[in-house]
A and B are shown apart, each in its own frame.
Chain A
Amino acid sequence: MNRLKLILLQVAVGLGFLLLWHVLTAYPILAPTRQTQFFFSTPLDVLTRVWKEFASGEIWRHLWITLVETILAFAFGAGGGILFGFLFARRELLAAVFDPYIKAANALPRVVLAPIFALWFGLGIWSKVALGFTLVFFIVFFNVYQGVREVSPVVLANARMLGMNERQLLRHVYWPAALTWMFSSLHTSVGFALVGAVVGEYLGSSAGLGYKIHEAESVFDVTGVFAGMVILSIFVILIDYVVTLIERRLLVWRPAPSTNGQG
C-alpha cells in the first residue's frame, strides 16, 4: 500500500512537470509561444522525436557505440584501479612516493584531457574510452586502496592463525574486502564511465549519444537536444538497474543494504 502510494506520488511529480512545461509553452503566458517553443520546445514534440528516433532505428547505432565505450572505459578503469589499489595498499613505500602525483592527477578536471586524447587516439571510440578510464580509475583505485588497508585486523589475525600464507590471505581476505569496496562504488564508477563516453563524444566524434546531442545543439534544434537528453536518461536508468542486479548477486553476504535508495 505504502509502495503504491510512493509510485503514484512519483508519477504525479513527473506528470506535473510535463503539464507545467506543456502549459507554459502552449499558451503565451510568460512570452509569445513562438519564443518559448524555440527555447524550450514542447513535451509533445520531444516525446514524438524520441519515439521517431527509436522507430526509425537511427538511434540504436549511437546507443551501441556509447554502450561499448562505457563498458570498455569501466572495464579498463576498474581493472587498473584494482591492480594499483592492491599494489599501493600492500606496498607502503610505493603509496608514499606516488601520493602527491596521484592527488595531482586526480585533482585535474578530466575535460581538459579530452582534446589531448582525441589527438592521441583519434576521433573513434578509444579517445572516449581513455577519458572514461581516467574518471573510473581513480574512483576504483581509492576504494580498493581503502578496502585493502581497512581489512578488519581481527579477521586478518584469525586468518593468519588458521595458517594462511600470503597468497591465501590475498585470496580469502584482501581480495573479497577490496571487491566489497569496489562494488560499493559501482554505481558511481559506471556513471562516470558513461560521463566520460558522452563528454568525449560531445567534444569530437561522429557517433554516439553525445554526438547526437551536440549535432542538434549546433543547429539550435532544442527539441533534438531534449530528445537526446531523455534517451540518455533512459539509458542511464537501465544501466543502473543492471548494476543493481549485479551488485545484489555478488554481495549476497552483506547485511541488508541500508536504505539510501541508490538503485
Chain B
Amino acid sequence: MPASPSTAAVSLRSVAITFGPKVGGYTAVQNIDLTASPGEFIAIVGPTGCGKSTLLNAAAGLLKPSYGEVEIFGARLHGLNGRAGYLFQQDALMPWKTALQNVAVALEPKGVSRKEAEAKARDWLRRVGLAAFVDRYPHMLSGGQRKRVALAQMLIRDPEILLMDEPFGPLDAQTRQIMGNLLLELWAANRKAVLFVTHDLEEAIALADRVVVMSAGPAAGIIGEFPVPLPRPRDIAEVRLEPAFHHIHKEIWASLRTEVQKAYAQGEGASS
C-alpha cells in the first residue's frame, strides 16, 4: 500500500521491552515514543547499556515489544521488518562468501537473477570504494572495509528504513570519519528514514537531522529531542568546527551528562 507523505516511516508508541519474566524481569526501555519521517536522519544517543540497541531491534522486528506498538509506514509490525535494512555493530557478513557474494546474496530473497545481482553488487562495491576487493573474503579485509561491504549489502536492497547500531563503533577515529562521510553521501543521493544509534554525541550531531537522547537504564526513556539545523551537505570533520555545532553540542550535553554519570556510577557499583 503506498504511504502518504505524512505517514511516519517508523513510529514507536509507548513501547516497553522487558527481558525475562513479565513480573520481576529486567525492563530495558519504557515509555518510548519515537517517530521517524521518511527521509529523516535520526541519531539516538545515550549512556552505555541504556537500551538503544534494544529499541533498534524492536523497530527491526527482531524483538517484540512487551508493551506498546511498532508501526512501519502506518502498518502494525508483525514479525521481521521487511522494509528495513540493518547495519550491525559486530561483523555480520557471511565469512564463507566473498565481498561480491555477500552483497549479491542480499538480492536473492527479492528473486533477482544471479547474474543481475552480481552486476549490481559489483556496482555497489564500487560505490563504497571497494572495486578492487570484490573477490576478497571478509577475513582478508580490514574492519573499515568489512563495514563498507556491510553497507553495500544493506543498501543494495534499497530498503526504505535504515537501522544502524553503532555501526562504526569498532573502527578507529579516522576510519569513522571517512565512513560517516560515505554514509552521508550515499544517503543524500537517496534519502531514507534512518535510526542511527551511537554513544558518540559528536558523531550523532554531525550526521543527524534530529538527536534523541535517552536516559540511563534500567527502564530507560527518551529525555530529550534536539533538532540539528546545520546545513547539508556536511563534512563530518569540518562541521565540528562550526560555532552552531558547539552550541548544539553544549545544549545536548547538558541533558546527557547527568545520565552518563548515572550510568557510570551504576557500572562502578556493579563492578565493585
Contact = CB atoms under 8 A, between A and B. Distances in A.
A180 B96 contact: yes
A173 B90 contact: no
Contacts of A253: 95-98, 137-139
B269 interface: no
A154 B91 contact: yes
Nearest to B107: A162
Given A162-B153, A254-B139, A157 B92 contact: yes
A163 B109 contact: yes
Main secondary structure of the interface of B (DSSP, over half): loop
Contacts of A261: none
B92 to A, nearest CB: 4
Contacts of B108: 164, 168, 172
Contact of A161 (B80, B95, B97, B138): B80
Nearest to A161: B86
B106 interface: yes
Given A155-B92, A173-B94, A253-B95, A161 B85 contact: yes
Interface in B40-75: 60, 62
Interface residues on A, range: 20 to 34
Nearest to A165: B109
A162 B88 contact: no
Interface of B: 60, 62, 80-82, 84-86, 88, 90-98, 105-106, 108-110, 137-139, 150, 153, 157
Contacts of A172: 94, 97, 105, 108
Interface of A: 152, 154-155, 157-165, 168, 172-173, 176-177, 180, 252-255
Nearest to B136: A253
14 contacts: A155-B91, A155-B94, A157-B62, A158-B150, A159-B94, A162-B105, A163-B157, A168-B109, A172-B97, A172-B108, A176-B94, A176-B97, A253-B95, A253-B138
A254 B98 CA distance: 11
Nearest to B82: A163
Contacts of B139: 253-255
Contact of A158 (B82, B84, B86): B86
Contacts of A160: 62, 80
B138 to A, nearest CB: 8
Complex A-B, nearest 6 residue pairs according to Cβ-Cβ distance, in ascending order: A158-B92, A163-B109, A253-B137, A176-B96, A161-B86, A255-B139
Contacts of B105: 162, 172
Contacts of A176: 94, 96-97
A50 B22 CA distance: 74
A162 B86 CA distance: 8
Given A157-B92, A158-B93, A162-B157, 15 more contacts: A152-B92, A154-B91, A158-B88, A161-B60, A162-B106, A163-B82, A163-B157, A164-B108, A168-B109, A173-B94, A176-B97, A253-B139, A254-B95, A254-B139, A255-B139
Contacts of B138: 253
Nearest to A177: B96
A154 B88 contact: yes
A163 B82 CA distance: 6
Contact of A154 (B81, B92, B97): B92
A186 to B, nearest CB: 16
B209 to A, nearest CB: 24
Q: Which of A164, A165, A172, A254 has the most CB of B within 10 A?
A: A172
A163 B105 CA distance: 10
Nearest to B96: A176
Nearest to A163: B109
B109 A155 contact: no
A163 B60 CA distance: 12
B77 to A, nearest CB: 13
Nearest to B150: A158
Nearest to B106: A162
